[in-house]
Amino acid sequence: MLTARQGLYRQIILILVVWLAASVAWAADFWAKKPYQNWSADETRRILEESPWATTLTLGGVQTGITSGDSPNNRGYRGEMETDPSISYNLQFRSAQPIREAQVRTSQLNSKYDAMSAEQKTAFDVSAGKFLAATFSDRVVVSVTYHSNIQDYVSLLRNYWTRQSLATLSMTVFLNAGKERLSLANYSFKDDTFQFTFPRPKQLGPDDKVGVEFVHPNIERIRQQRILQEFSLKKMLMNGEPVF
């Protein structure tokens, strides 16, 4: 039988759980509650890194022993090798309106939009309006940005993805959408980001998922592996319709 104090503690815990759940639910859909011009820097970052339209996944490797010495063939001590190597991929649906709005908002924040003159704001708004007005009725665009805590890995990744093309990736890159497995329609690369373009799926059910599939190459201790990252259509709703 619960004592009065135990009952009070249980009520407090229940209230805290309900409050936390409500807070999380509110935070999760801030993009539907206020215009992108009012998103904070943290909210904008969340849209681009971990949201219904974007995610960041990390691949790790097994650390091996570190050697050092005076041998002419020994590369010597390398501080970066003290860190367990990792490579991360940030996936974004660039054809999704929330991602594009987050890109504009990032540019606003970086350009100190609020401190601009009226003329500068007008010019910015016109450019942003053209960017946001683009439509993607026939295609889906997914960008993938890579990072690593090992500089050599960044160079190896850049070399690999620079060499790729539509022809070399046609058998390993797909958009899985419901019952459809859509082949790559276009590929591009710039700086630390590569971009996949797929035909837009024709039929999707409300419970379906869309999955981006590609192969991570063999980069030193982080071996080659197939990546299939899925996104739930139920979470990608804007005004009741899935947006991607």
Residue 2 DSSP symbol: -
**What average pLDDT values come out for the chain (244 residues) when binned by 10 residues?**
51 42 50 91 95 94 43 40 83 96 94 91 92 93 96 96 97 94 96 96 89 96 94 90 88
Question: What span, in angstroms and rounded, lies between the C-alpha atoms of 241 and 37?
Answer: 22
Q: Is residue 4 part of a domain?
A: no
Q: Is residue 41 part of a domain?
A: yes
With 0.85 as the threshold, say if the pTM is over it: no
Range of the domain at 167: 30-61+73-242
Q: Is residue 174 part of a domain?
A: yes
**According to the model, what pLDDT value does residue 30 have?**
85
**According to the model, what pLDDT value does residue 238 have?**
84
Q: Is residue 23 part of a domain?
A: no
Q: Is residue 9 part of a domain?
A: no
Domain count, the chain: 1
Q: Is residue 142 part of a domain?
A: yes
The helix/strand/coil state of 208 is coil
Q: How many beta carbons lie within 10 A of that of residue 141, not counting itself?
A: 22
Q: Is residue 128 part of a domain?
A: yes
Q: Is residue 6 part of a domain?
A: no
